[in-house]
Every structure is written in structure tokens, then in C-alpha cells.
Amino acid sequence: MAPYQGSNPRKECNVATGDKVKGPASYFPSIEKTYGRPIAHWMQVLEDAGPLRHMELVTLLKTRHELGHGHANALVAYFNAKG
């Protein structure tokens, strides 16, 4: 999976390739806008959480950081896919 390229003014496209962003990364512009933190911040939160299962990480993001379920699930799915 290609690394996320950060905020994208053409939110529906990958900056590096111009391809339409699909999968969990398609949520990233909305996550950054809604919560005011870059994706790298959320990847670090997940890394610091230690070896937890998918839904345990989703629950952590929802309860400790007040993310919505879809956003939390997308971050965890991306995190687990790259690891």
C-alpha cells in the first residue's frame, strides 16, 4: 500500500499518482479536517497503543479521542495493512 501523501487539495486524488484514492485512505482528508490532526498523529497514537486487536484499537480511538466509528475503523485498517 502506498503511503498516505497528507492533505490533498484535490481530496479525491492521490497527489503522487493522480489516481483516485480508495479504501481507508479515502477517509483521511475528512479525518484531518474533522479532528484537526494529521494522519501521522493518529498512526503514532495507534503505534503507542501497543499490540491490540483491530476492534480494541477502534474502541481506543472512539473512547479516548472521540473519533467516529467510520473514521476510527479506517485509521486502524490502514495502520494494520501497512504493518
Domain ranges of the chain: 23-82
Mean confidence (pLDDT) of the chain: 87
| Grid cell for residue 66 | 472521540
Q: What is the pLDDT of residue 11?
A: 45
Express each pLDDT in 49-79 by its tens digit: 999 999 999 999 999 999 999 999 999 999 9
pTM attached to this predicted model? 0.78
Distances (CA, A) of 50 to 43, 57, 69, 82: 12, 9, 20, 15
- At residue 14, does pLDDT exceed 90? no
- More confident site: 65 or 19: 65
